Amino acid sequence: MTLKSENSKMEKENKTKSTEPNVSNENTKENSQQTELTPIVSKQKLLEAGTYFGHKASQWHPKMQPYILKRPKNGTHILDVVKTQKTLEIAYQLINKLALKGASFIFVGTKKQARKVVEAQAERTNSIYVSERWLGGTLTNKKTILSRLKQMQELEEHAENNFSNYTKKEGVLMSKKLAKLQKNLNGIRGLKFINNDKLIMLVADPNKDIIAIKEAKKAKVKVIGIMDSNTDPALLDFGIPANDDSVKSITLIFTVLADAIATAKGGKALFAYQPTENIVLPEDPDKEHKALNKFRKVSAEVQNQVHHKSFVAKAKPEVTSQQKEENKHQKQGE
């Protein structure tokens, strides 16, 4: 699979503004006409998703300079959304063309912010995925991985009968083992049907999943993914400059990439070339959690202050009229 040659073809087509796709597919023809009318995703939606937020200037990778605006904002690098929009469109067209030629895809995103969208979009496109821990040898030692998959399937068969042929203790141990295998292997059940020479990796965070990328390089599997301001672009065969720490940003980018696969298979696009008002992004649970914690903290502080004032008021002894008279005479005597 020559990703670079396909990419260069796409760039030439963009420069010459060719409107005829190189495939005889009605969906692709409709998409090519649609691209002339609407952008892949509006800049407004890219800004709403926070795709432009990079990392602290001190954490940047120098090779990301072409994709970063000159002046950091509050010490944080800002990514150029114009370049994000352009590279996202090229990636979409590239993946769409590869999918039409029979390519398979593996979605990779083991960080918390990426897991849900990676699983959802991989399942939508009938692709394999890794959203938990990358198991060494997934691409370079398939024999071992396939043996684990077989073991998992056997345990699932026993689980259907509630491990009736085993003791209670054995059943509990086997159930725990099955849960562990399912957690790590659920997404790659279809691995045995995929050849590495037709496989493309889509990765949410190259730094987080560097082991997967290194293994992809060894297996000669091409990698397309998000590159934040702290990412080495050389890790990817094609990168999209965007925020890889935001749920909204990852969801937007990965849904568009999945749209490229879905439309190649006759499906519909959810985000790509859709009206801005039709693109609904999820709320960031981390931000909601932080906001809730902040509210709770402030509420606790207010309650403590009120409690402290009432406690002081209660602790202060009441002065009787007789004591007031005595205090008055003492002051006069002084």
Instruction: Identify the weakest region by mean pLDDT among 93-97, 207-211, 266-270, 325-329.
Output: 325-329
Mean pLDDT value across residues 54-76: 90
Give residue 320's pLDDT band: very low, low, confident or very high (50, 70, 90): low
User: What pLDDT was estimated at residue 20?
Assistant: 35
- Band (pLDDT 50/70/90 cuts) for residue 295 is very low
Q: Which of 5-14, 116-125, 174-183, 273-282 has the lowest mean pLDDT?
A: 5-14
d(CA 302, CA 103): 59
Output the pLDDT for position 70.
77
pLDDT of residue 22: 39
Burial pattern 32-58, b for ≥16 Cβ within 10 A else e, equals beebeeebbbbeebbeebbbbbbbeee
Question: Would the CA dihedral through 154, 159, 161, 162 be positive or negative?
Answer: positive
Q: Choose the most confident range, by mean pLDDT, from 2-11, 24-33, 253-262, 319-328.
A: 253-262
Per-residue pLDDT, 25: 46
**Banded model confidence at residue 284, pLDDT cuts 50, 70, 90:** confident
Say yes or no to pLDDT of 191 above 70: yes
pLDDT given at position 72: 72
Mean pLDDT of 304-313: 54
Q: How far apart are CA 82 and CA 158, in angstroms?
A: 54
What CA–CA distance (Å, rounded) separates 334 from 330? 6
Bridging pattern class, strands 222-227 and 199-203: parallel
Mean pLDDT on 287-300? 53
Calculate what percentage of the chain has a pLDDT beyond 90.
Answer: 69
Q: What are the distances in angstroms from CA 250 to CA 43, 58, 131?
A: 15, 23, 13
Determine the pLDDT at residue 154. Answer: 94
Mean pLDDT of the chain: 85
pLDDT, tens only, 40-51: 999 999 999 999
Q: CB of 88 within 8 A of CB of 41?
A: yes
> Can you give the pLDDT at residue 179?
95
Q: Which of 195-204, 255-264, 293-302 has the lowest mean pLDDT?
A: 293-302
In the predicted model, what is the mean pLDDT of residues 267-289? Answer: 86
Per-domain boundaries in the chain: 3-282, 289-333
Q: What is the mean pLDDT of residues 70-93?
A: 92
Which overall architecture, per CATH, does domain 3-282 show?
3-Layer(aba) Sandwich (3.40)
The fraction of the chain above a pLDDT of 70, given in percent, is: 74
pLDDT for the residue 19: 36
pLDDT value at 297 more than 80? no
